Structure 1
Amino acid sequence: MTQYTQTFTLLKANLKRDWLKMTIWLIVMVGMFVAVAAKFKSIYGTTKQISAIAQTLKSQAMVSLFGPLTTNHLNTAIIFAVEMMVFWGIFVVIFNFSLSVGITRGQEESGLTEMVLGGHPVGRLAPLAAACLELVIANSVFVIATGAGMMAANMPESDENGNWLFAITLGAVGLSFGLISLIFAQLVADSHNVTIYNYAFFGITYLVRMMTDVSNPDYTWLSPFGWIEKADIYTKNNWLPVILLLGLGIIGFAVAVLLNGNRDIDSGIIQVRGGKRTSRFLRGSGTLLFWNQKTSSLFWIIGMAVLGASYGSVFNSISKIANDSPVVRQVLGQNVMRHLEQNQILSFVSILGVIFSVLAVVGGAMVTSHLYTEERQGYLQIISTKPQSRSKLLAAYMAYGFVLSVIILFAALIATMEAGNSVLRQPLAFKYFWQIFIAMLPILALFTGILVALIGFVPKWRAAVWVALGGSFVISYFGRLIDLPAWAMKLSPFYWFRKVPLEHIDVVPVTWMTGIALVMLVLGFVGYNRRDIES
């Protein structure tokens, strides 16, 4: 047990450093979750409202997003569980990834782990054990707060067993993926690649869940993320998924412990190949950035194309509207039915445009934000030995990040169109996907500008861009669900293009979003040139 010496001392230090980050995450996640639960009765509290949403949830489009319905006897609580489980599971997983990377690879990159192990009587596995305990504490607090909040919300048809199972299932999936992240922290040597491995693994489990839900829900057991659907909250209240997720997390931690003993501090199991001293990619900041980011960029583009193709593959099922019967077709006529089916698909494409845009912003922002990471690690001091202006350096990261986000969005939309048209009897025209692409460009520019401004003036607060992005998505996606007022809905930039491609793009929001983005970029460059470089 000497290898775990001073684990609780390190845990105390970690919590002292991360308490604000954890508090903000937990307040936002728990607060939104409980707020939706408390308001759900006014949205889906009558038989008519439940019947209307039931038809929507049975469509393949909604099954791909939320999962399948496991019962025909719907009520307010069951609809809440169906609509909230998958998306809140995503948020909890992201929260755990952000914690695990910082308390493992983040500390090793800063040199803190080596200093602690080399200069103090601390066990070799103490940092890893402390990271595990911090994840356990964070998820336990989430479970307790969410469960108590659900009980206080007193949602119709909910019960104590279902409320606590809901909270524990979400906490279990977050903890499980957080502990699996510790494995990737042993495999690769920097936090950037750990993050890539984390989301690659999560992306695979999400795609497996989505595709099996649409084709055969029995196969959803193949995806760890799909296990949360099998809890059947407020119907069967199955605790098996919780046991499986906790078991998977324990296995993940055990594997991480084994791998930790086979590597040196600040290195990974997967060795980094040495480069060529005369490589043309070492001649400038732009080419060096491209060389360092080429693998992760390719991963993002291919991954988003696969995601788009997966959603496009269910277009034929989406086109079969609820009243798809010979009588309805005879009364309305083929032309009207085609128009209705096309509008239904285009409404789904509009939702996908928001999802793809959020992910595109994340992919591009990770590159742009990496400028400050390299600044703190002292890498920019090497580049600064050559005559290199700060403006050119910031421009390289900003331009690469923005262009990457544009390519990611385009790849996802084109893949969706190609896969969708391959299964549709009446293919969708390219113009619809092009309209969504053009409508989302000002939003990509807006978030890029905000991030650049933060890096220029207050780089330690650059994570605020994720808060703004997440808040915009939640408002856009759940705003009408929780009956937000019009002024609150307008706070999300996605609101202004919610009817594209069913309607034409409004030039006014395009103009003011682009203007704000340009102002933010100018401020960011001014601030970056004036402030001190950190190391």
Structure 2
Amino acid sequence: MNNLFNKTGMLFLLSLRRDWLKLLIWAIALSLFAGGFATALYEMYGKDPAGLIAMYETMKNPVMIAMLGPTAATAETYTIGAMYAHEMILFTALVFAIVSIMHVISRTRKEEDDGISELIRSFQVGRLAKTTAIVLEMLLLHVVIIALSTVLLQVQDIPGLNFSGNLLYSISLGVQGFLWAMIALIFVQIATGAGGARGLSFLTLGLFYIIRMATDMSAPDASWFNPLGWSYLVNVYVSDDWLPIVIAVVASIVCLVFSYILEHARDMGGGYLPERSGRDHAKERLLSLHGLILRLQKTFIISWLISIFIIGAMYGSIFEEMDEFVSDSEMMKQMFLHNANYTIQEQFMSVLFVVLSLLTTVFIVGSLMKLINEEKKGHWDQLYATKLSRAKFYWCHVILTFILGVLGQFSAILGLYLSQRSVMETPLSLWEITKAGIVWVPAEFFFIGILAILIGWLPRWTAIIWGYLVFSFFVSYFGQMMDIPEFIINLDIFSYIPKVPIEEWKWGTIILIKLLALFMIVIGFIGYKKRDLVHE
């Protein structure tokens, strides 16, 4: 058994030497994200008990519970700490999970696909040594994040945020990150490649998020069976329950042991999922570039369209409950029913489409990223050597992205429409929901413009687009609650989109955003056509 882990320590040190800068940046960024906004919330709400009560009433509404999860606090115990954890812990746990999944798969299955693991295994290295080195690296990363975020919360010295609560908050997030790293490690063994492992990991994460949206509304006790539920069930700053931490740690160990068993039994480069035998002859559509691109992205496109539809349907399913919730709360009427000409559903719909549009943006950005990612891997080299032009490569991907952007938004619209129609006595019309959803498409294309410039002129820095996307999500999601300065809000392209039907269509703004997106795409094409190919 010792031979299975031979040279683990050496590989761990080599991994740290290679990844130390990236891990340090992640540790600082995630710690700041987890604990850096407590002072801002305290300045806004902590000094005014009425402000806390208003936020408590706000967070009790079905939409907020679906997005952020429930809270165990009452109106009397809803302190600034309880509010901070309620607003931040689930969303931050998702960010931790995404980072962990990406790193684990990149350093395990992707390197196995690239032949790096086979080269390492040719030396006197244990079969499980490389995997264990990455596990230790992830463990160290999350321990550092726990320490940094706890210190960050502590030095802000906010009333109601004590050391034990700060530590539990940080540990809950750190354990979530490590748990999802171990879950991803299982899919690394099961899938037949890094792409499959990544897809299965994110699909599982998305499914658990969608499931908890339903259970938090109708069966809160079921959240104990959901890994994401263990993040907020600690009830930090309220009752400080450590049991979810214990469950998550045990689950992490079980996942790790299971992944070891799977890895020890499988062949290098293999997986447990069956691979379909290919056709004797390729379909005729693969003879064209657009047919090949569609074939390569088929699973990616279908899974995203279905996911967006389901999330839209989940939001639509709670529309009926909004009327009852608001009717029982005078404060909620004052906060949300500002215009008697619009129902509470119409006023909430504009908020929901911010989230749904950001999801569609992630979808289409991921699609266009395949143009540069396949280039870096050298997969396009043989095609570039043919008579196919750079222009055809570029515009095939860009036009596909435009089409997917519209399809993704209509998937959200259709899911929301069909779901709310099934639960409401007087449902919103398809046209009303379509107008509220389609107005966000220009902002989605603006992201494509930015990515196009990066692909054309800074191909090694395309990951910057994800940073801007996270920034936009945070500003759009937390902007009003955290009183973010106006000049920062103005940096978010989504802030310029009118919230239909509450606001009027701003045709001038929408056309300008479209023209800017098109201009950036053309500029990106000029750079793409002239530059050299890039490889990892």
TM-score between both structures, scaled by the size of structure 2: 0.93
Mapped partners of 1:518, 1:104: distance in 2? 39
Mapped pair 1:33 → 2:34: yes
Q: Summarize the Cα distance change of 1:9–1:391 in structure 2 as closer, same or farther, 3 Å threshold.
A: farther
- Measured after TM superposition, the shift of residue 395 of structure 1 is 2.0
Mapped partners of 1:401, 1:246: distance in 2? 41
Equivalent position of 2:4 in the other structure: 3
Q: Summarize the Cα distance change of 1:148–1:112 in structure 2 as closer, same or farther, 3 Å threshold.
A: same
Equivalent position of 1:368 in the other structure: 368
- Measured after TM superposition, the shift of residue 448 of structure 1 is 1.2
1:417 corresponds to which letter in structure 2?
Y
Equivalent position of 1:133 in the other structure: 136
2:71 corresponds to which letter in structure 1?
L
RMSD (Å), alpha carbons: 2.4
Residue correspondence of structure 1 range 111-510 to structure 2 within 5 A: 111-118=115-122, 120-276=123-279, 277-324=281-328, 340=340, 342-497=342-497, 499-510=499-510
2:469 corresponds to which letter in structure 1?
L
Provide, for residues 474-525 of structure 1, a one-character-per-residue CA deviation record: whole Å limited to 9, x for no partner.
Answer: 1121223222211111111111125333112222332332222122211222
Mapped partners of 1:27, 1:409: distance in 2? 34
Q: Summarize the Cα distance change of 1:63–1:18 in structure 2 as closer, same or farther, 3 Å threshold.
A: same
Do 2:439 and 2:498's aligned partners in 1 also have CA atoms closer than 8 Å?
Answer: no
Equivalent position of 1:70 in the other structure: 72
Mapped partners of 1:453, 1:269: distance in 2? 40
Do 2:186 and 2:258's aligned partners in 1 also have CA atoms closer than 8 Å?
Answer: yes
Mapped pair 1:55 → 2:57: yes
Mapped partners of 2:452, 2:17: distance in 1? 29
Do 2:459 and 2:534's aligned partners in 1 also have CA atoms closer than 8 Å?
Answer: no
1:219 corresponds to which letter in structure 2?
A
2:57 corresponds to which letter in structure 1?
Q
Q: Secondary structure at the match of 1:437?
A: helix
Do 1:147 and 1:164's aligned partners in 2 also have CA atoms closer than 8 Å?
Answer: yes
- Measured after TM superposition, the shift of residue 445 of structure 1 is 0.8
1:534 corresponds to which letter in structure 2?
V
- Measured after TM superposition, the shift of residue 198 of structure 1 is 1.0
Mapped partners of 2:101, 2:404: distance in 1? 22
Mapped partners of 2:193, 2:449: distance in 1? 27
Mapped partners of 2:433, 2:463: distance in 1? 31
Do 1:319 and 1:341's aligned partners in 2 also have CA atoms closer than 8 Å?
Answer: no
Do 2:28 and 2:145's aligned partners in 1 also have CA atoms closer than 8 Å?
Answer: no
1:457 corresponds to which letter in structure 2?
W
Mapped partners of 2:10, 2:405: distance in 1? 42
Total equivalences in the alignment: 528
Mapped partners of 1:363, 1:35: distance in 2? 29
Do 2:33 and 2:92's aligned partners in 1 also have CA atoms closer than 8 Å?
Answer: no
- Measured after TM superposition, the shift of residue 400 of structure 1 is 2.3
Q: Secondary structure at the match of 1:320?
A: helix
TM-score between both structures, scaled by the size of structure 1: 0.93
- Measured after TM superposition, the shift of residue 150 of structure 1 is 0.9
Q: Summarize the Cα distance change of 1:318–1:340 in structure 2 as closer, same or farther, 3 Å threshold.
A: farther
Moved more, 311-320 or 494-503: 494-503
1:147 corresponds to which letter in structure 2?
T
- Measured after TM superposition, the shift of residue 248 of structure 1 is 1.3
Do 1:208 and 1:222's aligned partners in 2 also have CA atoms closer than 8 Å?
Answer: no
Mapped partners of 1:283, 1:191: distance in 2? 26
Mapped partners of 1:451, 1:250: distance in 2? 39
Q: Summarize the Cα distance change of 1:292–1:340 in structure 2 as closer, same or farther, 3 Å threshold.
A: same
- Measured after TM superposition, the shift of residue 238 of structure 1 is 0.6
Residue segments in structure 2 that go unaligned for 5+ positions in a row: none
Residue segments in structure 1 that go unaligned for 5+ positions in a row: none
Q: Summarize the Cα distance change of 1:183–1:534 in structure 2 as closer, same or farther, 3 Å threshold.
A: same
Q: Summarize the Cα distance change of 1:437–1:161 in structure 2 as closer, same or farther, 3 Å threshold.
A: same
Do 2:143 and 2:174's aligned partners in 1 also have CA atoms closer than 8 Å?
Answer: yes
Q: Summarize the Cα distance change of 1:27–1:206 in structure 2 as closer, same or farther, 3 Å threshold.
A: same
Mapped partners of 1:266, 1:530: distance in 2? 37
Q: Percent same amino acid among aligned pairs?
A: 29
Mapped pair 1:89 → 2:90: no
Provide, for residues 123-180 of structure 1, a one-character-per-residue CA deviation record: whole Å limited to 9, x for no partner.
Answer: 2212211121121122111111111111112222122111100000011111101111
Mapped partners of 2:264, 2:282: distance in 1? 36
Do 2:314 and 2:416's aligned partners in 1 also have CA atoms closer than 8 Å?
Answer: yes
1:38 corresponds to which letter in structure 2?
T
Mapped partners of 1:405, 1:8: distance in 2? 46
Mapped partners of 1:320, 1:26: distance in 2? 43
Mapped partners of 2:465, 2:239: distance in 1? 40
- Measured after TM superposition, the shift of residue 56 of structure 1 is 1.2
Q: Secondary structure at the match of 1:261?
A: helix
- Measured after TM superposition, the shift of residue 39 of structure 1 is 1.6
Mapped partners of 1:249, 1:390: distance in 2? 46
Mapped partners of 2:339, 2:514: distance in 1? 34
Moved more, 40-49 or 491-500: 491-500
Q: Secondary structure at the match of 2:94?
A: helix
Equivalent position of 1:520 in the other structure: 520
- Measured after TM superposition, the shift of residue 323 of structure 1 is 4.2
Mapped partners of 2:80, 2:3: distance in 1? 53
Do 2:81 and 2:161's aligned partners in 1 also have CA atoms closer than 8 Å?
Answer: yes
2:98 corresponds to which letter in structure 1?
I
1:386 corresponds to which letter in structure 2?
T
Mapped partners of 2:311, 2:259: distance in 1? 29
Do 2:442 and 2:510's aligned partners in 1 also have CA atoms closer than 8 Å?
Answer: yes
Provide, for residues 349-373 of structure 1, a one-character-per-residue CA deviation record: whole Å limited to 9, x for no partner.
Answer: 2222111111112122222212222
1:441 corresponds to which letter in structure 2?
V
Q: Summarize the Cα distance change of 1:346–1:23 in structure 2 as closer, same or farther, 3 Å threshold.
A: farther
Mapped partners of 1:57, 1:188: distance in 2? 39
Provide, for residues 294-325 of structure 1, a one-character-per-residue CA deviation record: whole Å limited to 9, x for no partner.
Answer: 12211111111111111111111122344448
Moved more, 59-68 or 503-512: 503-512
Equivalent position of 1:44 in the other structure: 45
Mapped partners of 1:436, 1:28: distance in 2? 34
Mapped partners of 2:282, 2:182: distance in 1? 41
Q: Summarize the Cα distance change of 1:2–1:156 in structure 2 as closer, same or farther, 3 Å threshold.
A: same
Q: Secondary structure at the match of 1:237?
A: coil
